[in-house]
Amino acid sequence: MKTHIKIIAFFILYILIAVSCSKDKPVVFDGVISGPDMRKSVCCGGWFIEVEGETFRFLAVPDDCNIDLNQESFPLQVGVNWIKEAESCPGDEINLTRLV
């Protein structure tokens, strides 16, 4: 009898936890795209963006983004999610995962 109560209690607890979980929308940071990187070297190119007081470079916008950086005027205020590149030449390159 105690085994049945434990099993029922386990399933009730499992259901309560499953129902209370929710996926949060990803955090979007405020960013400012200042313009293209016009330097001429192997480790240059892309666009400059300032996020949380640091300046980074990115090479491309995410596939689902409808912003055409070749047609925009700068500085451009954006919302951005990003991940740091593992190893990049000057260490300032990021990948944009979301740009709005």
Phi, psi for 79 (deg, rounded to 5):
-105, 140
**Which parts of the chain are beta strand (E)?**
29-36, 47-51, 54-58, 76-84, 94-99
Chain-centre distance of CA 36, in angstroms? 20
**pLDDT at residue 81 tops 80:** yes
Q: What is the pTM of this model?
A: 0.70
- Per-residue pLDDT of 3-53, as tens digits, reads 778 788 778 877 767 666 655 556 688 999 999 999 888 888 899 999 999
pLDDT of residue 96: 92
- Give 72-75's long-range contacts (Cβ < 8 A, gap of 24+): 72/33, 74/33, 74/34, 74/35, 75/32, 75/33, 75/34, 75/35
Contact 50, 36 (CB under 8 A): no
- How confident is residue 89, by pLDDT bands cut at 50, 70 and 90? confident
